[in-house]
Amino acid sequence: MSGHGTPIPMTSRKSGPLKGVADVPGDKSISHRSLLLGAMAVGETRVTGLLEGEDVLATAAAMRAFGADVERLGDGEWRVNGVGVGGFAEPEDVIDCGNAGTGVRLIMGCMATSPITATFTGDASLRSRPMGRVTDPIALFGAQSYGRTGGRLPMTVVGAKNPIPVRYRTPMASAQVKSAVLLAGLNAPGETVVIEAEATRDHTERMLAGFGAEISVEDTDEGRVITLVGQPELKPQTIAVPRDPSSAAFPVCAALIVPGSDVLVPNIGLNPTRAGLFTTLIEMGADLTYENEREEGGEPVADLRARFSPDMKGIRVPEERAASMIDEYPVLSVVAAFATGKTEMVGVHELRVKESDRIDAMARGLEANGVTIEEGRDFMTVHGLGPDGVPGGGTAAARLDHRIAMSFMVMGMASQSPVSVDDGQPIATSFPIFEPLMTGLGATIERSTA
């Protein structure tokens, strides 16, 4: 899993109107958490709508390695028989999390307070990403970790034999760090407290409550204070995973920039900690509406309808919105190229440590396609060229980053000349049906061999 095969270059060319219904896959964040919490519950958790992308499949394999019984029953339908909090077995071999930062960081949290040792690795992208943000707080529980220079994978984590609960303020806006600490807190006696200055996606908190843990969240002057009582017995759940707003972003943004388009993207989870992109697009003047708004499994859900929007204007995206759309800046920067005026994205330094340095990856790829961008440590500004002003014609490096590859495929659907990426394989980590889904709406995406 940690290697990738021969690169698959992909090219996307100017498309006729995109029309139809885009059934995007299940939410990646919730899919990972369904498997992890299912593995730590006592009894059988049933999951439907699980994202069967490479990232989540790596987490399923990891949970088996830690002793849970994880079985695929059908399309997106899974069964997890958990071992209970503190019941993880020591894996016999190295845990390969592939491309998944969420997978590895959350799993490290889950095992950090059990008396077992595990060694983690991943693909070249994951091996370059910082793990200190998780190994620092799990050390406070008593876990030890030994990795490469800079806190990189491969890394061995020795779980705490006698874990102590912690009170931890996350030093960066990161749901992965928050979640790793809470998951470690599950097997520590007493109360574990996490304080985050800005709200990040709260699926872990919601799902822990759903599995029967005692958890409370309070908004205070210090920030969001989350208190978890350790050593609960987690009760197995039936989980219907909502569809992923981060995947919905691609057909939505494509419809906004391709003339004549009208696309319906049904059943999208619109948890406010995830929906920042859609708010931003509407502020830019996008013809994007929420239809059939409802609540499912405690999460707000709606059908998104996106239509061609030739009058979008660049805006300054408020910094405090960054956490709620952190994975969507790459595709927003593509939409921004088709808007009029400047789109300023600020407070986005976390983009530098995602599957790739996403500020650099987007800047270089946009430049290669005739778009002007300014960038700094924590900002990027895209100079819009209007609905038919983007030249295209370039090749972007995907850098083992699914969202970079998909963003440039969307760009090619509306630019004057085709846009290519050097490798479309990473798309399978989060959106394995991206190509057939987009071509089914009317897009033209071609593969060529290197």
Which residues does the annotation mark as catalytic?
327
Pick the binder of ligand S3P from 24, 326, 339, 368 (CB under 6 A).
Answer: 326
Smallest Cα–Cα separation from 304: which of 316, 290, 292?
A: 290
327 binds ligand S3P (CB under 6 A): yes
Cβ atoms of 36 and 227 within 8 Å: the answer is no
C-alpha pair distances (Å), 22 with each of 246, 249, 305, 380: 13, 11, 10, 30
**SS3 of 16, please?**
coil
Nearer residue to ligand S3P within complex by CB, 15 or 29: 29
125 binds ligand S3P (CB under 6 A): no
Distance of closest approach, residue 223 Cβ to ligand S3P, in angstroms: 16
Helix, strand counts (H, E) of the chain: 13, 24
Distance of closest approach, residue 13 Cβ to ligand S3P, in angstroms: 29
The tokens 């798309």 sit on which residue? Answer: 427
102 binds ligand S3P (CB under 6 A): yes
Smallest Cα–Cα separation from 258: which of 20, 9, 8, 430?
A: 20
Cβ atoms of 398 and 441 within 8 Å: the answer is no
Distance of closest approach, residue 266 Cβ to ligand S3P, in angstroms: 22
Kindly write out the interface string for residues 395-414 of this chain, putting x where it contacts ligand S3P by CB under 6 A and - elsewhere.
Answer: --------------------
Q: How large is the angle between the packed helices 132-141 and 175-185, nearest 10 degrees?
A: 20
Return the range that interacts with ligand S3P (CB under 6 A); candidates 175-183, 310-318, 336-344, 436-444. 175-183
Distance of closest approach, residue 9 Cβ to ligand S3P, in angstroms: 25
Distance of closest approach, residue 346 Cβ to ligand S3P, in angstroms: 16
Strand partners, 229: 191
31 binds ligand S3P (CB under 6 A): no
Pick the binder of ligand S3P from 2, 31, 113, 176 (CB under 6 A).
Answer: 176
Strand partners, 240: 48
Pick the binder of ligand S3P from 4, 14, 201, 243 (CB under 6 A).
Answer: 201
**SS3 of 105, please?**
helix
199 binds ligand S3P (CB under 6 A): no
Cβ atoms of 388 and 312 within 8 Å: the answer is no
177/12 Cα distance (integer angstroms): 36
174 binds ligand S3P (CB under 6 A): yes
29 binds ligand S3P (CB under 6 A): yes
- Contact residues toward ligand S3P (CB under 6 A) are 29, 102, 174-176, 179, 201, 326-327, 350
